[in-house]
Amino acid sequence: MPTANQKHIEENVPITEWDNPYFEVKEPEQMAFSIKDKFVSIQTCTEGYDYSVFDADYKLVDGGVYDNPDISIHAALKDVLEDFGLSEQDKRIPVDYEELMEKTEAVERERLSERIREEADSVVADFKAKTEELFNGINGQTQDDIEQTVWAYLQSKLDEYEIDVELVDVVVSGSRCRGLEKAGSDLDVVVEYKGREHEDDLFNVFNEDGLMIGGVKVDINPITEGKTGTLATYLPEVESYLAEKQAMQKASAVEAIPEKTITLTVAECGEFHSLGEFHENIASVEEAIAVWKSIPPERMNGIPSIGINIHTEGTERYEDVEMDILSGKVIDLEVLDYVPDITDEPKAIEVIAELIDKLPDIEVRGSLEKWQAAILASQIDQFSYDYDTYQYQDTVEDREAQVANITEDIRNGNTGYLNDFLNAVISEGVREGITDIFGEGVEIDDSEAVQTARRAKELLDKLAEYKPLAKVEELEEQNYNMIDNVLNNGAEKKEQEQTKGRISIKEKLAEKKAVIEQRDRAEHTSPEKETEKKSQREM
Tell me which DSSP letter residue 467 carries. Answer: -
List Cβ neighbours of 58 (8 Å cut-off, separation of 6 or more). Answer: 39, 100, 103, 104, 106, 107
Q: Name the strand (E) or helix (H) holding 79.
A: helix 73-83
- Helix 369-387 and helix 399-412, axial crossing angle in degrees, nearest 10: 130
The pLDDT, as a whole number, for residue 4 is 55
**What are 63's strand-pairing partners?**
52
- Cβ-in-10-Å burial (0-12, 13-18, 19+) of 442 comes to middle
Q: Are 301 and 268 in contact (CB under 8 A)?
A: yes
Q: Are 348 and 304 in contact (CB under 8 A)?
A: no
pLDDT, one tens digit per residue, over 180-216 is 888 889 999 999 999 999 999 999 999 999 999 999 9
SS3 state at 482: coil
SS3 state at 523: helix
Grouped pLDDT means (10 residues each) for the chain, 539 residues: 52 51 68 88 90 89 87 86 77 89 86 72 90 91 94 94 93 93 91 94 95 94 93 92 84 69 92 88 94 83 89 90 92 89 86 91 87 86 86 80 87 88 90 79 80 91 76 45 44 42 45 54 45 36
Domain residue spans of the chain: 4-95, 130-255, 260-366, 371-469+503-525
What is the spatial distance between Cα 428 and Cα 421, in angstroms, rounded to a whole number? 11
Q: Are 126 and 160 in contact (CB under 8 A)?
A: no
SS3 track for 86-154: CCCCCCEEECCHHHHHHHHHHHHHHHHHHHHHHHHHHHHHHHHHHHHHHCCCECCECHHHHHHHHHHHH
Helix ranges, 436-529 (H): 448-465, 472-479, 490-500, 505-525
Please name the amino acid found at residue 342: I
Q: Are 231 and 193 in contact (CB under 8 A)?
A: no
In angstroms, the Cα distances linking 453 to 76, 306, 433, 439 are 62, 37, 9, 18
- Cβ-in-10-Å burial (0-12, 13-18, 19+) of 339 comes to middle
Task: Out of 3.30.460, 1.10.3300, 1.10.3470, 3.30.1370, select the CATH number for domain 130-255.
Answer: 3.30.460
List Cβ neighbours of 279 (8 Å cut-off, separation of 6 or more). Answer: 265, 266, 267, 291
List Cβ neighbours of 169 (8 Å cut-off, separation of 6 or more). Answer: 124, 191, 192, 231
Please name the amino acid found at residue 468: P
Half-sphere exposure of 28 (CA within 13 A, CB side): 13
- Render 180-209 in DSSP notation, one character per residue: ---TT--EEEEEEEESSS-HHHHHHHHHTT
Tell me which DSSP letter residue 489 carries. Answer: S
Please name the amino acid found at residue 397: E
Pairing of strands 60-66, 92-94: unpaired
What is the spatial distance between Cα 23 and Cα 269, in angstroms, rounded to a whole number? 125
Q: Structure pTM?
A: 0.41
- Cβ-in-10-Å burial (0-12, 13-18, 19+) of 444 comes to exposed
